[in-house]
Structure 1
Amino acid sequence: MDHPMTATDTTAACPAHMDPSEWDARVTLAACYRMVAKLGLDDLIYNHISCRVPGHEDQFLINPYGLLFSEMTASSLVKIDIEGRKLQETPYEVNLAAFVIHAALHKTSHDAVCVLHTHSDASVAVSGQEQGLLPLSQFAMRFYNRQAFHDYEGVAIDLDEQQRLVRDLGPHKVMLMRNHGILTVGRTPGEAFMLLYYFERAAKIQLAMQAACASGVKLVMPPHEVCEHAARQFWELKGDILVPGEREWPALMRQLDREDPSYRQ
């Protein structure tokens, strides 16, 4: 297994023994890790992003436990099945909580191709608020009445929590794990990443507005009808709105390639 590369490395071709579709998934997932780190939304070696192996509903790729998000490369990702068994030779283990959370969603939802979980600061702060994210900005409107909640049960290492994670997420693509973090689900790593990005922006704005309330500022909350209209515009792809990541993600990968393409190794 290759180890994390330095910024001087160039891109690598698909290994001869690997299906090109799996290699493409590895490259995109490694890029997702790098982007989360680039924006400071990671948590050292903790947190996790997984991606289903193309053509294999029961297999997914996830980070090796012990590497920073900024070190992640296509070849360093670990392939496991939904029972937690490693399907490749690697000196690394997989975080138990990562397996519990990600396997639960991959094995129950065909659309859960990529599952992303972070402890990003603003999202954690909002997760401890009773109503979660409030419709205080256009960023937040995407999630109006479209955020799920999962109560804190301690570190997610108990298998029986899986059924409650699945139940609480329901049809949503974003879930606040109370007093813990955020989870997003996408049909691509790009979609999962952009949902995290927009939610985190909205959460930061909410916290700033709430802080201003201490000096007597009154918040303006748009009426329900307007919030629902805006949410439907986002989710029903009105006008020139596309699926999150469809337009943004290629640009972000180009940015990574200009700055440090070593994630492709």
Structure 2
Amino acid sequence: MTVLDTQTRTTKPVGMSDAEWQARLELAACYRIFDHLGWVEMVFNHITVRVPGEDGHLLINPFGLMYDEVTASNLVKIDLDGNILSDSDWPINEAGLLIHSVIHANRPDAHCIMHTHTTAGTGVACLRGGLDPDNFYAAQLHDMVAYHNFEGVTVDPEEKPRLVANLGERNLMVLRNHGLLALGPTLPAAFSALWTLQRACEIQLAAQSSGQPLTPVTLEAAVRSTKESFQMGDRTQAGRTLFTALRRRIDRIAPDYAV
């Protein structure tokens, strides 16, 4: 089954735009990809996307569902204040809303935002030195990762300006003692960046667990690696290739996401 087959074999709800339905299909597929990769934290964490053509409207997962239960039709449409705009039997998670809504509001280029609590990502977030540049994937992220200090569970509105200021213009952030965050102009671009950061964290912890000193990556090599990985060619298209390949796998093993 091809991606095109998945996109055309279901009927969008009456009154919904084609653009929103396609965004729902892509986002629901992404939740299933996260589940497949093990990037899950029970019913917590979020991936959000803007609703195309609807300023200030987002799609988010229903709070209470596991990622393998998320479908195109049960995603919840909200505004930046968390008001539910779609017909939904499920609430949304307030802690997730704060992080995602403030970044969507202040970064017009952020079509998609992803937040995870993976073991490797949170493990690196707990290290005083943060992400170590001395592995193949971390070397591709030179000067691309921001940091935000832990202030408790993210439900206090007073944290918003500090979160936005610390993120700046970067598309990746290590939330210290907490987890990872990625954003992008498309969902596949955000996914590709997060996958690179996640792999960097996994390899860092594996290498550090040996107790042996890591072989340094030179600054010149890191700059070149980042340029070759993220700036040569079309980053969005590169992310699309990776995401589409994973979506084909989800089409085979969990096609019910498209209902």
Other structure's SS at 2:106 match = coil
Correspondence for 2:117: 119
CA contact (8 A) 1:237 1:243 kept: no
Equivalent in 256, 259, 262 of residue 256 of structure 2: 262
Q: CA deviation at 1:16?
A: 2.4
Relative to structure 1, the CA distance from residue 253 to residue 101 in structure 2 (aligned partners, 3 Å threshold; closer, same or farther) is same
Relative to structure 1, the CA distance from residue 128 to residue 243 in structure 2 (aligned partners, 3 Å threshold; closer, same or farther) is farther
The 2-side partners of 1:244 and 1:222 are apart by 24
CA contact (8 A) 2:189 2:236 kept: no
Describe how 1:182-193 pairs up with structure 2 within 5 A: 182-193=180-191
Q: Which runs of 4+ in 1 moved over 3 A?
A: 240-244
- Say which is worse superposed, 32-41 or 129-138, in terms of deviation: 129-138
Other structure's SS at 2:58 match = strand
Correspondence for 2:4: none
Where structure 2 has 5 or more consecutive residues not aligned to the other structure, the ranges are 1-7
Correspondence for 2:199: 201
Correspondence for 2:216: 221
Q: CA deviation at 1:49?
A: 0.7
Other structure's SS at 1:160 match = helix
CA contact (8 A) 2:24 2:75 kept: yes
Matched, 1:17 2:12: no
Q: CA deviation at 1:57?
A: 2.6
Describe how 1:110-149 pairs up with structure 2 within 5 A: 110-149=108-147
The 2-side partners of 1:162 and 1:244 are apart by 32
Correspondence for 1:103: 101
Correspondence for 2:36: 38
Correspondence for 2:78: 80
State the superposition RMSD in angstroms: 1.6
The AA in structure 1 aligned to 2:43 is I
The AA in structure 2 aligned to 1:28 is E
Larger helix proportion of the pair: 2
Q: Percent identity?
A: 38
The 1-side partners of 2:235 and 2:215 are apart by 25
- Relative to the length of structure 1, the TM-score reads 0.91
CA contact (8 A) 1:57 1:106 kept: no
The AA in structure 1 aligned to 2:134 is L
Deviations 1:94-137 (A, max 9, x none): 10011111110111111111011110110101111233211222
Q: CA deviation at 1:243?
A: 4.8
The AA in structure 2 aligned to 1:77 is L
The 1-side partners of 2:136 and 2:237 are apart by 16
Q: CA deviation at 1:199?
A: 1.2
Correspondence for 2:244: 250
CA contact (8 A) 2:174 2:180 kept: yes
Other structure's SS at 1:84 match = coil
The AA in structure 2 aligned to 1:164 is R
Deviations 1:12-55 (A, max 9, x none): 22222200100000010011111111111110000011000001
Q: CA deviation at 1:252?
A: 1.1
The 2-side partners of 1:229 and 1:198 are apart by 16
The 2-side partners of 1:62 and 1:44 are apart by 16
Other structure's SS at 2:81 match = coil
The 2-side partners of 1:126 and 1:251 are apart by 28
Q: CA deviation at 1:61?
A: 0.4
Other structure's SS at 1:235 match = helix
Correspondence for 2:229: 234
Q: CA deviation at 1:11?
A: 4.9
Correspondence for 2:63: 65
Q: CA deviation at 1:242?
A: 6.1
The 1-side partners of 2:85 and 2:194 are apart by 29
Deviations 1:43-89 (A, max 9, x none): 00000110000012310000110000111100110000011111122
Correspondence for 2:27: 29
Relative to structure 1, the CA distance from residue 241 to residue 94 in structure 2 (aligned partners, 3 Å threshold; closer, same or farther) is closer
Other structure's SS at 2:147 match = strand
The 2-side partners of 1:241 and 1:144 are apart by 16
